[in-house]
Structures are given as C-alpha cells and as structure tokens.
Structure 1
C-alpha cells in the first residue's frame, strides 16, 4: 500500500490523459488571448460553472476591445483534472494563462514550478482587502507568497431525509451527539426501511478528496487529539489512535452493510450518483456531504428537485464521543492561479479581477452554493437568502479544520485513500491499514514522522 511513484504517475498520465475531455491544444502564441483551464463535472447536465465563466468572459471582452478569452474545460474526476492541468503547465507551449486550482494542491504545484506568485498584483488591487484572512491563507505558500485568488469555500455536515427518518421512527430534528448515534440511526433505518441505503460516507482511492477530506478527515478531526500533521514539530503523525478509530468507523459502515454496495462506494463518480439519483429519489437516508449539494437541485441544475428543502434536513457531524466542541467540519475551496509559464500573466490577472467584482463574486457563490470568502459577499442579501441551509453551513466554519497545505499532501492523501479502501473491502483490519499507511508515510516524507 504505497503511494504512486513518479514513474508510475508518469506512465498513468500518459495512458489516461488522452481519454479526458478537453477543448483546445496549443494554448499559447496570441498576446491578445488568454486561455483559462478549469474542471467540468463528469455529469453532462452540470453546466453552471461554464455558464458563469462564459458570462464573465463576455463582460471582459466587452470591457477590453480586442482581447479574447478562450475557455478550456477539462471534463474529468478531480484527480484526473489535476493531472491534466499539471501536464499542461509543464510546457510553455501548452501552459494556460489561468488555471483553476484546488487549494490543497497549490503547494505541490509551486514546488513543481508550475505557478507564479501574485503578490505584486494583489498589492495594488483594492478588492483584496475584502477577502477573509482564512481564505487568503488557503492560497498562501510556505514561502509566504500568495499563488491564487480563492473564489469560495465550503463546509461539511450530515444531510438526512426526513421522510425516511419518519418511516424509521427517527426524529425530524435529529442531532446526533456521537459517532455511535450516527451508526445507531443507520442501523435503525436498515431494520425498519428496507431498500434504502442508510448512510453514505465516501471512501477509497477513486473518489479522491471526496473520500479523504470529506470522509476520513471529517472523522479524524472528530477524535480530538490526532491531526495528520503536527505543525509545531513540523512532522507528519504516525501511529495515531485517532487514525485507527477513523478507519474503524469506515469499516463498521461497510462491514454492517450500512453504506452503499462496495462497488458503488469505490466508483469515482459516486458523488454524482448521491446528488442526482440517491438523494432525490429517496434511496439514501443520510449522507456525510458538502454545503454545495443544493446547487444540484435548483437553478436548472442536473436534477431539478422542487421539494428538496422540505424533504432534506441537516445536522452537524458530531465528534467521536461528543467531546468539545461537539461538532466537526472540514473546509477547502478552489482558487484562480497563474501558471509560471503563462504567456499573458498580466492579462490573466485582469480577468481574475473581472471574475471577482463584487457582483460576479456574489453571483458565483449563489449559483455554485459556495460559502463566501469576501466580507461584502457574505453580507449581500442575495447570498444570505440564496438557498435553504446557507446559514447552517456558514455557521459550521467555526468548527472547520483544513488540510495541511504542504507539497507532499497529495501523496499523503493517496495513501489515506488506499487505507480506506482496504478496510472498506475487508482486505485489511483498521490496525493493518493504519500500519501500511505509516510505512507509506515514512517513504513519502523521508522519515519525517512522529508517533503519538
């Protein structure tokens, strides 16, 4: 259970990248055209990002006669999108002028030499003072420089179906205090409401960060004492009881058949199925999921569901034993970055400024169900009334933890996904999978680990 080696990654990239859907080839050469690479959902019905970017492109071109914006969507799961974007950024011939980056990958892409700092442009941009400190930190590297402009964040909690809960004899105002409460509710649903999936927690390698951040780390940081990375010691943590406990929770869900079928759970597109099939069709009772879920059901999303706000409710994910602070969340987000080999970096930053006018930033948070990272957006009435639950998920920010923004984190994430998959399939016990993770961690970090 070792992380992907650079050679294996290169071979995998060479084999899989031609299968990804992307528009355009050579991205450089025209000083009046900027190329913008971003991820497109694998669900062909989800086009709100395309529509938003097309609208901003039209604004930019109208305000800057003679300038053009070429949008290059990459339709792929997030891990494959990142691989494609990195491959493009390696060469001056194919590097875009602007790329959409998951903030947890920024430091690894900086280390690889793919991104350029934006501090000089940010210093003369008045809107930068509107961004919240936590959002700015998400795009700041170990060298103290900023390499991206975030456009929103997110939080995570428990979504549950009130109709299924009623049939199972569970309360409509359900608020579990411990992990045991969550599992007991799932067991009761399994007994009393056959034919539905009691509980979904994302797991395994293929779903990528949906499993690692949204599943495993939501559990790990609920144990109260065991982070992934010890910031004071500047070392990764191994031998962690909390790590084993988090894997134990995942193992219980799938051993007791409280979750989806294992083959479905390990599908890279499981998130699309949860959002567009299982929840809207009443096939899933509880999902540990994100603040953005409502975007699937409104504004001509991929699955129109007029009754979603009446059928679904939300609860915080509790800590393991109900210990303080009582709830846990993870926050992440994406940012717009300028590649180091961009042909038109200044024009690209001008496009960022258009993306981040107050009106455009607010509209993006509304259509994409993002948690605002600007104080003026957070105060906007259109944002605060945009969707049922926006106040609930905004309130979870105070419980949020963040992934270690370090260059090796993507490799650590891969090792965690492998550990999760091993316990999900039953190939390993939580203790065995945790030991295999510890071995991988020593390889990834050249031995820079500490034991709890």
Structure 2
C-alpha cells in the first residue's frame, strides 16, 4: 500500500530524543479540513503544556470502505501503527476482535470527562469482554433533506412530510414529470458508497418495515425477512423508474461531495436521505459555503413503510477515538485524547461539523444549543433511533448488504434473488447456527 502523507504540528517540529511523538490517524474527506483543524487546535494546546510532545497527523485520503482497510493495515504492524486512531463506531468491535486495539478502562477511570458521555454511547464502545475500547466524540441521526425551492417549482408543499414510502415515490414521480432536468431522489446504494449505502440507504428502509438485521432476543442474525425483500423492492422501483441519478453517478464513490457542492445548491436534485452533519458543507468555512441553505433546504422524517408506529425511522451512529494495540506510549497518547476532548474544543468541533453531541456538558452549552436551525430537529430523532448491531461480524454483513443493493440497482438480480444471495452470504459469515430464518 501507499502510506498516507503526514503533517507535523507542535512545538519545534520533530520530537527530541527524549520527547514523545503522538501519531493520530483520521479520514481526510476530500478538501475538507474540519477534522484537521480540530486536531491542530488540540495539538497546539497540548504541546504548549508538554513541550516534549509532538503531534503527527496521519490523514488517510480514501473512500469509505478503503479508509477502514488502510487504517487496519497501519494498525497491524508496530512499524506503521498510529498511537491514536479515529474510527467509525460500526467498525470498532471488528477491530477489537482482530486484535488491533487495546482496552482503555484504566485510563477512562481516572478521566473526569468520561461521566459526561451518555451511557448509551459508553455502552456502544464496550466490547463483549466488558472492556472499554474508545472515547465517543459525537453521534448523528438521519432524515430526508429536500430542496424546498425545487419542490415548490414542481407544485409540492414546502412543508412536505411523507407518511409512508409510497408518498416518497409519488413526490419523486411528480418531480420527474414536472422538472425533467432535476433528479428526484438519492438513496445511497452499492459497494462504492460503502457504509453509507448500508446505513443511510438500506437500513433506513429496513428498520421502517419492522424487520431487523439481528434479533437481540435469540442472538441470531436474521435472514429470509419480508422487510429485507421489500427494501430491495423499493430500491428497484427507484432505479427502474429513473427516479434517481444515473447509474454511473450512483456508483461514483464521491457522489456525496457532488450532491453537497452542486446538485442541491443549484437545484438539480430534489431530495436525499442523509445525515445530520450535511449542513457542515454549507456554513461559512465549509467546503461549499451556501448561505441560502437555511431558507432553501427542508427536512422531513423518514417514514416507516406503511406509516405504522412509531411513524418514522432513523439510524444513529458516530465516531470515536481509539488506542491501537501497538501505540508506542499509551499513557502519552491518552493524554492527547483528553486534550482533544476538552469541553471548549469539543463544542467548537461539534458545531463546525454540525454533529450531535454525546456529552452532557457540551449539550448544556449555549453555543451548542443555538448553533444550527437543524440541531433541534435531528436531536429530536434520537429517542426513536436504531443502531447497527455492535458485533464483530457486522462489517462483513454490511458488505453483503451493499452487494445485494448493487445487484438490484444494476438489474443483475431481482430483489428476491439478491435477498437469497444475501441470506447465503450471511449464513457463510456467521455460521448456520447463528442465523434465524424468517421465511419459514
């Protein structure tokens, strides 16, 4: 592999022979610098307190799935491992199971910030062995973003609030008929979109059917569910009726950047199912500043399939700071993690990225409470949020979801065929004794 370029920050550049170099790996999203800015600010504060410490940034420029692979390759060797790695919570337990990470129980026990983190978020970074493996930094929720001006041109209401899937399809059909130059809808799909296809796309459908990926009572992965097939059928309808972007655009791993920078601001897309962080692109200092977004963009809850209770669905996730197994000096690395998570730094980081906080002290801050016109809406969805199965097998299951989606969107398989292939793949991944067949 080609190792990512690194940048140094801190006092005096490289560390002295008696100093400590703290290497932190994170995903670099295109031209955005928000995560880099966060790390650099914390590094400046940390090195002013610890002149013998140097912070080395290890940005990994990669598409979603490639980031996880490259980061794991780095962590797999003492020669290349960073001292801190920033990870999506969905990959955490898989990395724990692979031996890439070390527990941090002893460190968080003496850190006052730990009790500020919501209990559900602390549980999300606890492995099956009962140990804690990360510090959660934020969470998120998902809904339908829609361009109110585009909707108005098509005769759709600016306060649009679909009650079921059919009303989403009907709005998309109206947009297609009234505005031929506008793509009606994006549901992230296929392998090139990585985890956002599974989470923003498929699972936002699946969990609205009443089905699930994993049965918490039986402790088995679900196969053969009607909800899984119905979700693929919904996807087939969108692509078969050309209610979305072209297939090539949907398969572009960087399509979200195009959506945020051009398609939505220029009125070329009607709606997209996406996350609470999207507006970070449009604020002053974002990658695609768009002052008019607060007046132009609308939000609607993602409805359940037929409008059944609770009426809406959302998925919640988030990212976390981890301590790789081969961290050179764990205590020093954790000391920088503490600086990264100091309250004022976290308030600024959360606001800059349009995230939802997992911390009581940040939530109580007036700046956080007032920072975005969408914060209250997305925070209100948390009470009904679903979470991905926090199990080591999930990343492989997620990949099988993406393959099923791509088979349907490319017309290489029918929904029934793609669902059967998924069932077979999951059975191979977890073993026949760990699946629950709902087709019988």
TM range (shorter): over 0.9
CA distance in 1: counterparts of 2:390 and 2:63, whole angstroms: 21
- Find the counterpart in structure 2 of residue 39 from structure 1: 27
For 1:145, the equivalent position in structure 2 comes to 131
Name the counterpart of 1:78: 64
TM-superposed CA distance for 1:23, in Å, is: 2.4
CA shift, 1:107, in A, is 0.7
CA RMSD of aligned residues (A): 1.4
**Is 2:223 aligned against 1:238?**
yes
Matched, 1:111 2:94: no
1:328-366 CA deviation, whole Å, 9 max, x = no partner?
A: 000111100000111111111111111111111111110
Indicate the residue corresponding to 1:366 in structure 2. Answer: 351
Alignment match of 2:383 (pick from 398, 406, 427): 398
Equivalent in 232, 252, 270 of residue 285 of structure 1: 270
Q: Distance in 2 between matches of 1:370 and 1:73?
A: 20
Q: Take 1:223 and 1:104, find their aligned partners in 2: how far apart are those partners?
A: 22
SS for the counterpart of 2:69 is helix
Offset, 1:30: 7.3
Asked if structure 1 preserves the Cα contact closer than 8 Å seen for 2:5 and 2:58, the reply is yes
Alignment-derived partner of residue 23 in structure 1: 6
Work out which of the residue numbers 361, 383, 407 in structure 1 matches 2:392.
407
1:302 aligns with 2:264: no
Residue 49 of structure 2, aligned match among 63, 80, 98: 63
Partner of 2:107: 121
Q: Compared with structure 1, are the counterparts of its residues 30 and 390 closer, same or farther at alpha carbon in structure 2 (3 Å cutoff)?
A: farther
How far apart are the structure 2 equivalents of 1:207 and 1:184?
25
Distance 2:258 2:127 in 1: 35
Contact 2:4 2:58 in 1 (8 A): no
- Once the two structures are superposed, the pairs formed by residues 98-247 of structure 1 within 5 Å of their partners are 98-224=84-210, 226-247=211-232
- Residues of 1 paired with 2:212 and 2:144: CA distance? 22
May I ask how many residue pairs the two structures share in their alignment? 430
5+ unaligned residues in a row in structure 1: which ranges?
1-16
Shift of 1:79: 1.1
Map Cα deviations across residues 152-189 of structure 1 (whole Å, 9 max, x no partner). 01100001111111111111111000000111000011
Unaligned runs of 5+ in 2: 9-14
Q: Would you say the 8 A contact 2:26–2:86 is kept in 1?
A: yes
- What secondary structure sits across from 1:320 in the alignment? coil
* CA distance, structure 2, for counterparts of residue 133 and residue 402 of structure 1: 14
> What is the aligned partner in structure 2 of residue 248 from structure 1?
233
Q: Which residue of 2 aligns with 1:53?
A: 39
Matches within 5 A, 1:346-357: 346-357=331-342
- Are the aligned partners of 1:78 and 1:208 in contact in 2 as well (CA < 8 Å)? yes
Divergent runs of 4+, >3 A = none
Q: 2:308 aligns with which of 323, 333, 337?
A: 323
8 A Cα contact 1:117 1:145, kept in partner: yes
Counterpart secondary structure, 1:22: coil
In the alignment, the residues of structure 2 paired with residue 444 and residue 311 of structure 1 have an alpha-carbon distance, to the nearest angstrom, of 45
Secondary structure of 2:191's counterpart equals: coil
